[in-house]
């Protein structure tokens, strides 16, 4: 215990002047060993940049970008309680989407919704198989943010509080940030009202605990993949584990895996879309992120967003990012969360054209880059 506190204290000891953005020293200093990125690759409608930084002892953010000549898929999966759910989503959701696209002959909001449902059922089946030997798997879950570009249409589906933001060019050539997703988080008044209307007989459906609104006093997000013990009574966790203790037995689900889905034709003024886990949005606004993407070169832009968030996290603790980079994973979680950022640039001259884009699968943070399986979409074009 003493060595753990000593390492944390040594990372925090030196106060510095307050600053809002990356200093030159932070930008040009030594690499952050916990930060992974691919600066720029091509997708069906332009280019993309991806970056991930680890804070937890075992990274709970998982992500992927799948590209092909006719479509692009982005997935950001922010796990909680452990990495199992977010890793499962990464391994299965895209496959379900491709299977359903083949069966239906297209991609649609219903196809996306059904892919989420199949992924949820698959993970609950895994929980059911392993629950007796690993009961805490019932408390593992994941937020889930997905974006798909298909035939000139952008589809976005979301569970939890990861966020997609589109950068639109205004009349004066300024950039305007437009949030495409709904944050399913009890800190939002509309989410609390929704929960109260769904559970009128439960006065403890949302509870303020340690200054934060939580569902049943336990969890902030109202929608997720997993978190089986808050969805099905069969997965009750031993009440002696206070962190997961419910005030009364579960009679009906208090969380859902029903995603919010948004779709629209890509507009001429749409210049890029930022997909990011909530670790980014804790440290910058939608507009700040959009202006960074708009004002800096494409190459490495996702890494720039992550580093800017880390600089802000360091500033809040009166330290520099160069000092934060020396803090080990696990202890790093006291300063910031795992953060995943994907930026998709939209090049409108490519709309309707068969771009010479190879099938490519990029898995965030694990350096897994290989061919993507867009065969279902090839058959539909």
CATH of 20-168+175-182+267-380, one of 3.30.70.1350, 1.10.3720.10, 3.60.40.10, 3.40.50.620: 3.60.40.10
- pLDDT tens, 256-280? 999 999 999 999 999 999 999 999 9
Give me the mean pLDDT over the 160-187 stretch. 95
Residue 321 confidence (pLDDT): 95
Which of 117-121, 175-179, 253-257, 365-369 has the lowest average pLDDT? 365-369
* DSSP string for 161-219: S-EEEEEEE-TTS-EEEEE-S---BTTSHHHHHHHHHH-TT-TTSEEEETTEEEETTTB
- pLDDT tens, 65-106? 999 888 999 999 999 999 999 999 999 999 999 999 999 999
3-state secondary structure of 138: helix
Residue 17 confidence (pLDDT): 29
3-state secondary structure of 41: strand
Distances (CA, A) of 31 to 28, 36, 37, 53: 9, 10, 12, 12
3-state secondary structure of 318: coil
d(CA 77, CA 340): 9
Q: What are phi and psi of 304, to 5 degrees?
A: -65, -40
Residue 381 confidence (pLDDT): 62
Residue 353 confidence (pLDDT): 66
Residue 24, pLDDT above cutoff 60: no
Residue 30 confidence (pLDDT): 65
d(CA 137, CA 26): 39
d(CA 325, CA 305): 16
Residue 376 confidence (pLDDT): 62
- pLDDT tens, 187-230? 999 999 999 999 998 888 999 988 999 999 999 999 999 999 99
């Amino acid at each position: 215990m003493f060595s753990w506190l000593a390492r944390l204290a040594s990372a925090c000891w030196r106060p510095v002047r307050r600053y809002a953005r990356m200093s030159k020293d932070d930008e040009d200093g030594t690499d952050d060993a916990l930060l992974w990125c691919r600066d720029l690759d091509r997708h069906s409608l332009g280019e993309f940049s991806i970056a991930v930084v680890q804070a937890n002892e075992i990274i709970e953010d998982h992500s992927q970008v799948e590209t092909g000549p006719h479509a692009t898929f982005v997935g950001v999966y922010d796990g909680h309680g452990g990495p199992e759910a977010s890793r499962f989503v990464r391994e299965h959701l895209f496959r379900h989407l491709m299977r359903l696209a083949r069966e239906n002959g297209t991609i649609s909001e219903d196809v996306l919704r059904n892919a989420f449902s199949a992924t949820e059922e698959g993970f609950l089946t895994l929980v059911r198989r392993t629950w007796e030997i690993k009961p805490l798997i019932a408390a593992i879950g994941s937020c889930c943010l997905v974006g798909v570009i298909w035939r000139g249409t952008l589809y976005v589906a979301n569970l939890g509080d990861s966020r997609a933001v589109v950068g639109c060019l205004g009349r004066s050539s300024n950039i305007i940030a437009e949030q495409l997703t709904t944050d399913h988080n009890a800190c939002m008044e509309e989410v609390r009202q929704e929960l109260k209307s769904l559970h009128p007989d439960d006065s403890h459906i949302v509870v303020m605990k340690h200054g934060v609104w939580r569902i049943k006093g336990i969890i902030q997000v109202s929608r997720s993949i997993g978190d089986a013990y808050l969805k099905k009574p069969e997965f009750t966790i031993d009440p002696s584990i206070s962190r997961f203790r419910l005030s009364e037995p579960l009679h009906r689900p208090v969380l859902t895996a029903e995603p919010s889905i948004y779709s629209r034709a890509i507009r001429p003024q749409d210049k890029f879309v930022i997909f990011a886990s909530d670790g980014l949005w804790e440290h910058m606004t939608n507009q700040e992120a959009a202006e960074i993407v708009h004002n800096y070169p494409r190459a490495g832009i996702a890494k720039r967003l992550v580093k800017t968030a880390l600089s802000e996290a360091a500033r809040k603790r009166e330290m520099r990012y160069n000092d934060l980079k020396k803090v080990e994973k696990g202890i790093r979680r006291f300063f910031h969360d795992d953060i995943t950022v994907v930026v998709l640039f939209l090049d409108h001259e490519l709309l309707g054209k068969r771009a010479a884009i190879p099938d490519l699968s990029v898995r965030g943070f694990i350096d897994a880059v290989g061919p993507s399986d867009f065969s279902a979409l090839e058959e539909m074009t």
